[in-house]
Amino acid sequence: MDKHLFDADELRALLTELGDRMAERGEKVEAYIIGGTAMAIGLGSRRGTDEIDGMFRPHEVVAEEASKMAAERGLRSDWLNTRAFSFMSDPSEDTQAKEITFNGMSVRLASPRYLLAMKMAAGRLKDHGDIVILIRHLELRDPEQIADLTFAIFGDDGMTLTDPRKSVVLLAKEMLRLAWG
């Protein structure tokens, strides 16, 4: 199945439906959303995303309902991705996360600072556009400041941030050049 890119409205609709289904089951769900979904809903990014990356509690019930939604709506089975969290720092430390509610589901969208740190730590080419948007949004102009932020969130010895500081600073310099010319 081809990867459909969801826009912000489609992402909201999926989360609303999931929240409705959880409410019907009498489940109170808490979620922390990262990646393209947090960019689209939280920052109004126009770039589409092919999945909702998040941590959901209770996980099993949400995964079961997401699977049903996939079958009923013709979505990919992994449209709700919880794998991204195996390498993440503690979401409760993201005190600037934006809180919204989708019916029975309490959702926290990762803050721009956390999103930038995650995307810098990943260092993937596909994240460069988002990094530029986040740098502009946060009005950052110093590569050392971006590296400090990234290491403050992920630490020097975490599993997520495997590049040395020098590499993170070099990526930050390139992203600043793209952001501000």
Say which range, 91-100, 110-119, 157-166, has the weakest mean pLDDT.
157-166
Average of per-residue pLDDT values in the chain = 92
pLDDT value of position 163: 80
Domain ranges of the chain: 8-110, 114-180
Contacts 24+ apart (CB under 8 A), 158-167: 158/89, 159/87, 160/87, 160/88, 160/89, 160/118, 160/121, 160/122, 161/121, 163/121, 163/123, 167/123
Handedness of CA 158, 97, 52, 141 (dihedral sign): negative
pLDDT value of position 82: 84
Q: How far apart are CA 65 and CA 70, in angstroms?
A: 9
Q: What is the reported pTM?
A: 0.91
The pLDDT of 33-41, averaged and rounded, is 95
pLDDT value of position 1: 54
What is the distance between the terminal CA atoms of the chain, rounded to a whole angstrom? 39
pLDDT value of position 138: 98
pLDDT value of position 169: 97
